[in-house]
Structure 1
């Protein structure tokens, strides 16, 4: 049985909520952004600008639903869902709708924590899913152009390092490594011989073995004397790929050098991480020549075969665009001196 004090307290909270919920949406939005920019939760001016734009869009959509100035009270599930439907009907891209929902969710969580909103109307709301994008694979001519660029000294690099650029290219495009995995290779991870391979430490520190085409291994062998000239350490645990100053390559350094190759080859930089398109090219080319998807999964170090499965679709699209495409390893082998 509720006491008089409890009832009185409940009425006070209800009155407080009613007072807050009648506040203008734009005032609540301004407070949230200011709180995010406060000490300890600093966001950049650009991020704050993006938040303001997103919340201004929400204010317009909410006002279109209610026909009045948007208030915190308008933040209900039905009103928000109606606004999302309007966005969808207006042709707003899923990525844009996803960003808008994420921003609104942040505002609503803040208002609940501040006791300015009784419940979070976005808590059970699903974020619009982005359509899966097929991985981009380079064409034969693009791979050839990249190789030509790697074999030629970069006039803007001081010093130029063609052996390093070729080694990076063949490891990524003919080995399918992530940039971070290539940066983590040690000398002992390269195993030359009749069946050359790389021992790769992937995500979750799971090791895998990636076999190399002999012509690709030959390019790593060509790189090793250059490495010996520039290395400051030469133990088995020393990094395989190093900069001209002897320091180990990082993922960012590899991405920078790959971007330079794209620019010199006249190839537009793909979306996402620069070096990842070379890994995509490796995967698609493996599927193109009939390598079972389970083996491609092992070569790429994917935890789930579902992740690798997207290359089946990408391969079909690739084959429609260019029939009988050779694997990246074969193409590199045919072009290498």
Structure 2
């Protein structure tokens, strides 16, 4: 039987410190913001196109696999700041240039603030923060794209705006 490695959850103050450390680089800050405050997997963040992001009063992302989720306001602010400096077409990668070296950049930023964290730590921290609010598991599964209960999901419709609640929880936990 394989041994499972238990990785510690990135504490909220450490996650906020890491997020703050990335503010000097708008592209990295946008990537860390969306992984932490939308709980995206690194591959999901890397596959986003400019057209997948919908700014506005209720900022949204269309994530690979068809999920459409509202994201935390602070993540949208980071995305807007980065995109303001770009002349990107809708089909272009949203986080152009980070696909291959994102793990190293996140690890380096974490080391600068004395935190042990990587790209996967951000998603785990987001899920942990969302779970603290004690939402229905179907909301967690749908928002973060966890496919453990596919049959049950088909039987339990999600209420309108469930993702707004998740975005608000993540904003409260990590927003700036």
Q: What's the TM-score once normalised by structure 2's chain length?
A: 0.81
Tell me if structure 1 keeps the 8 A contact 2:15–2:122: no
Question: For 1:183-332, what aligned pairs fall within 5 Å after superposition?
Answer: 183-201=46-64, 206-228=65-87, 234-243=88-97, 249-250=98-99, 252-269=100-117, 274-305=118-149, 327-332=169-174
Q: RMSD across aligned C-alpha pairs, in angstroms? A: 2.1
Deviations 1:100-134 (A, max 9, x none): xxxxxxxxxxxxxxxxxxxxxxxxxxxx243573x
Q: 1:301 to 1:137 in 2, by over 3 A?
A: same
Q: TM-score, normalised by structure 1?
A: 0.44
Instruction: Select the structure of larger CA radius of gyration.
Output: 1
Q: State how far apart, in whole Å, the 2-side matches of 1:209 and 1:286 are.
A: 17
* Cα distance per residue 1:134-158 (max 9 Å; x no partner): x53221220221122112x4xxxxx
Q: Which structure would you say has the larger RCO, counting Cα contacts within 8 Å and 6 or more residues apart?
A: 2
Aligned length: 159
Distance (whole Å) between structure 2 residues aligned to residue 129 and residue 237 of structure 1: 42
Any gaps of 5 or more consecutive residues in structure 1? 1-127, 154-161, 229-233, 244-248, 307-325
How far off its partner does 1:236 sit? 1.0
User: In 1, distance between residues paired with 2:4 and 2:46?
Assistant: 31
Give 1:327 shift: 4.5
**5+ unaligned residues in a row in structure 2: which ranges?**
151-167
